Amino acid sequence: MDYYLSEELEMIRDLARKIATEMIAPRAAELDEKEEFPWEIINILKESDFMGVYLPEEYGGLGGGILELSVVVEELSRACGGVAVSYAANALGSFPILLFGTEEQKKKYLPDVASGEKLAAFALTESEAGSDAGNVKTTAKKDGDFYVLNGRKQWITNGGEADVYTVIASVKPNKGARGLSAFIVEKDTPGFSFGKKEKKMGIRCSSTRELIFEDCRIPAENLLGLESRGFMVAMKTLDMARPGVAAQAIGIAQGALDHAIAFGMERVQFGHAITTYQAIKHKIAECSTRIEAARALTYATAKMIDKNEKNYSKESAMCKLFASDTAMFVTTEAIQIYGGHGYMREYPVEKYFRDAKITQIYEGTNEIQKNVIANEALREARKNRKKTN
């Protein structure tokens, strides 16, 4: 389907596809097996000016937006979900600065993120603050011109590899979500260290670590946005980031389907290629339709964000929900088309299946997305009712 992307975006997409096909796909299985962070590929993306594709030109970016970012993430994900999330988590980590940073903070941090000189990461989740994101226990206590951070963040993508961390911590522990603030923490700050790299089911080359803060003193000027408004910073960040997860899911689904079709055209059973049978054709039709619907919803949401719409929580949650469910559906069907081969690690589709699963979980489980969508739909209905009364 043609989305009538700008000429510039088509060029970006074609280059991302070339990098994915020629440089990522041949290494995807090895990176997965070794669980090795893909620095070599991140450096290629850096040289291609992709790290700041979504950042304004005044901060050293290419001047694109969430649509540009989504298109790149989708292309990278067709080759490897783990590489794609390492790339996308960098954007996620920078969103709080882009959305809530002062001019000074933006000028200090964004150009290095845009050039790829520094990698970013976002730290919200803790052992008791997963879906219940407001239940953050990490504290930030004001001490003169500093805040002192204590606590632990769990499952942080790009943890240990990133240089700049946007961290949500509590300044008023008895106030729950309304006592949270957002901070910028640099990697080499004394009192800031990392736990072990987690061993995961999928996206295994990406880095997922615990962040440990022990009397970690950061300058008060590293506060992002207003004190006690950190929950809003986190929610707005996730609203902006969820189309990226959707794009990752679409790329994974498309990559798995491409492999399954190529395999099915060669696989002969009962004297014919299995793609000549209706049972397989219907799988291809169902998968292709769901992928295209997910892509249309995601691109439309990305455009909404890039047009500076005020509220896109519902659309952002919808595309993440639909695309990640699509990825799980398509990768399951792709394995079915491969039959027994699909279950073997020698063939690529089992990795797509493992990589797909996380997209239903991270950046908010799909159950949480449904709550967000329903709450927004009900809010809109109440507003419309008021208007007509």
- Is the CB of 110 or the CB of 156 nearer to ligand COS? 156
CB 120, CB 163: distance < 8 Å = yes
CB 205, CB 86: distance < 8 Å = yes
Q: Which residues contact 95 (CB under 8 A, 6 or more apart)?
A: 122, 166, 237, 240, 241
Among all residues, whose Cβ is closest to ligand COS? 364
Angle at 53 between CA 182 and CA 353, to 5 degrees: 80
- Is the CB of 61 or the CB of 159 nearer to ligand COS? 159
Q: How far apart are CA 353 and CA 252, in angstroms?
A: 8
208 near ligand COS (CB under 6 A): no
CB 89, CB 157: distance < 8 Å = yes
Q: Which of 102, 127, 131, 384 is the binder for ligand COS (CB under 6 A)? A: 131
75 near ligand COS (CB under 6 A): no
Q: Closest approach of Cβ 158 to ligand COS, in Å? A: 11
CB 255, CB 79: distance < 8 Å = yes
Q: Which stretch binds ligand COS (CB under 6 A): 73-81, 95-103, 108-116, 125-133?
A: 125-133
236 near ligand COS (CB under 6 A): yes
SS3 content of the chain, % helix, strand, coil (to 5): 60, 15, 25
Could you count the other beta carbons within 10 Å of the beta carbon of residue 111? 17
- Is the CB of 111 or the CB of 176 nearer to ligand COS? 176
Q: How far apart are CA 350 and CA 334, in angstroms?
A: 9
**Amino acid present at 23:** M
Q: Closest approach of Cβ 22 to ligand COS, in Å? A: 30
Q: Which of 77, 90, 94, 125 is the binder for ligand COS (CB under 6 A)? A: 125
Q: Which stretch binds ligand COS (CB under 6 A): 24-32, 127-135, 207-215, 335-343?
A: 127-135
How many helices (H) and strands (E) the chain has is answered by: 11, 10
Q: Which of 25, 29, 44, 235 is the binder for ligand COS (CB under 6 A)? A: 235
126 near ligand COS (CB under 6 A): no
Which residue in 161, 315, 350, 363 is the catalytic one?
363
297 near ligand COS (CB under 6 A): no
Q: Is 363 a catalytic residue?
A: yes
Question: Residue 350: helix, strand or coil by DSSP?
Answer: helix
DSSP string of 70-131? HHHHHHHHHH-HHHHHHHHHHHHHHHHHHHH--HHHHHHHHHHHHHTSS-EEEE--BTTBSS
- Is the CB of 168 or the CB of 287 nearer to ligand COS? 168
229 near ligand COS (CB under 6 A): no
- Is the CB of 25 or the CB of 232 nearer to ligand COS? 232
Number of residues in contact with ligand COS, rule: CB under 6 A? 20
Q: Closest approach of Cβ 177 to ligand COS, in Å? A: 5
Q: Closest approach of Cβ 176 to ligand COS, in Å? A: 8
Q: Closest approach of Cβ 389 to ligand COS, in Å? A: 24
- The pattern of x and - marking residues 157 through 186 that bind ligand COS according to CB under 6 A reads --------------------xx--------
Question: Residue 195: helix, strand or coil by DSSP?
Answer: strand
372 near ligand COS (CB under 6 A): yes
- Is the CB of 155 or the CB of 353 nearer to ligand COS? 155
Q: How far apart are CA 285 and CA 305, in angstroms?
A: 30
- Is the CB of 225 or the CB of 264 nearer to ligand COS? 225
Q: Which residues contact 3 (CB under 8 A, 6 or more apart)?
A: 295, 296, 299
Catalogue the active-site residues.
363
| Interacting residues with ligand COS (CB under 6 A) | 122, 124-125, 131, 133-134, 177-178, 231-232, 235-236, 238-239, 313, 362-364, 368, 372
